[in-house]
Structure 1
Amino acid sequence: MGSLSLNRIDHLLWLGRYLERSFTTQRFILSTYDRVADRALDDLAGDWRGQLADLGFRCETETPLEFFQRCLFNRDNPSSVACSMDAAYDNALACRDALGTESLGYIQMAVNALEAAGASASPLLDLQQVQDNIMAFKGCIDDFVTDDAARCLVKCGMTVERVDLCARLRYRLADIPHEVDRLASRLDRTGAAYSRPAFKELASIASSPSFPDDADDALLSRAIACVNGIFS
């Protein structure tokens, strides 16, 4: 780990976070859109607008299509999938020597697929390719990133972001305990400084027998604070 500077550690963590933000946010947006595409915004059941607002999205138009296109493709929206993919690519370039050209290639292909989706009248196929290339990147780093610490930093960033988003969006909460277990298996392998108290509290929340059934807003807010405090 001595070969990785603090700046490199930060780039690897945020590469993982921005890639996961692109992946999970896109999945959430598309699954939500599937439920609302044929209904008027003001008549929708559930709190999907409130959930997206937690990520910084603001619904300023009257149709779901216009709103979700902005969530996916509008770079003026800092929480959009497009902005997250751009940030992931920038962080990947900053540590390309640690990642290798094979791994970096999948991020470039994901960016290209997102560009194609934004220009397409039928974007779903290209959006699926964004997802596929992010998944391929996750597998590729196991084969081509030889530095275990660098690989674990990217994966820790992904897991931190996934826990944050699941809690923030009230989405797939049952996955959080498994993600926390993954994080536990990788933290010490990164060689990076992290907050053991923050992780311990997060693990306590996730391992509670009543989680996620009894997870209220206060508990989820605490989980978000803990997971974001691990590497702060």
Structure 2
Amino acid sequence: MDSLSVSKLNRLYWLGRYYERLSTTLSYLWDWYDVMIDGEINYPDFCRKLSIDCCYKDDKDFMHNYVFDKNNPDSLRTVADAMLGNGMVLREIIGSRTLAYLELAVMGMKSAEESDSPTLPLQRVIDFIMAFRGSYDDMIDDENVRNIIKCAAGVERLSLYLRLGWHLDSVKSEIGKLMKRMNRTSLQPSHASLQVLLSAQNPETPEERKKLLDAAENLFVV
């Protein structure tokens, strides 16, 4: 495996976490646009589960400002900008063609904000992120680099599933994929966190989910 500076390893890791946070959270919120037509969404519970400030006036304010407000440190627009910022610094590693999909995703966020019907442009954001995943998997020769990004994305996906109580039947499978990818990287996992994840049971209780969440979040220090 080629050696990576601490700075580049950190940026690769957070690139993976940010793109997965953007994609998975948008997918989770997708149905909420339809729900708001006839009812209310439980955005305070969502904020509580993600441990973010519930600073929104109502449903519409949440769906606009949580998704699009670039001055909100918790917003998905802020996540998208951080994703692109890491990608730009890593241009020489991931390649300009792969980086272009991140740029298109951020442009899609801007387009969605200006639209009266944001669901279609937000779907394009998800599509561009999927294209980014396919591009880096195909275009980056260094297996270590590819799997650092994949491990980070896996940690983020696992974290969101556990926080939101979503796709819990996939948790053990996600842990298994994370373990396989981790072994193909230069990442050094926490032994204690690794043991918790390897002995994971079905996360049926809040206590088990909290234990697995803490282990996932502390698996790597980069």
Normalised-by-shorter TM-score class: over 0.9
The aligned residue for residue 4 of structure 1 is 4
Pick aligned residue for 1:58 from 42, 54, 60: 54
Pick aligned residue for 2:206 from 217, 222, 225: 217
SS in 1 for 2:31: helix
The aligned residue for residue 69 of structure 1 is 64
Percent of residue pairs bearing the same amino acid type:
32
2:13 partner amino acid: L
CA contact (8 A) 2:2 2:142 kept: no
Residues 165-199 of structure 1: CA deviation (Å, up to 9, x unaligned)? 11111111112111111111111211122213312
SS in 2 for 1:115: helix
Once the two structures are TM-superposed, the CA of residue 31 in structure 1 deviates from its matched residue by 2.4
Equivalent pairs, count: 220
Is structure 2 residue 162 aligned with structure 1 residue 167? yes
Is structure 2 residue 222 aligned with structure 1 residue 226? no
Pick aligned residue for 1:145 from 140, 144, 150: 140
Distance in 1 between the 2:32 and 2:206 partners?
20
1:216 partner amino acid: T
Once the two structures are TM-superposed, the CA of residue 88 in structure 1 deviates from its matched residue by 0.6
Moved over 4 A (4+): none
The aligned residue for residue 30 of structure 1 is 30
TM-score (norm 2): 0.93
1:160 partner amino acid: V
The aligned residue for residue 109 of structure 1 is 104
CA contact (8 A) 1:37 1:65 kept: no
RMSD value over aligned CA atoms? 1.6
Distance in 2 between the 1:50 and 1:122 partners?
25
Distance in 2 between the 1:57 and 1:20 partners?
21
2:167 partner amino acid: R
The aligned residue for residue 17 of structure 1 is 17
2:148 partner amino acid: L
Distance in 2 between the 1:114 and 1:224 partners?
29
Which is further off, 134-143 or 74-83? 74-83
Pick aligned residue for 1:183 from 165, 169, 178: 178
Once the two structures are TM-superposed, the CA of residue 48 in structure 1 deviates from its matched residue by 5.0
Gaps of 5+ in 1: none
TM-score (norm 1): 0.89
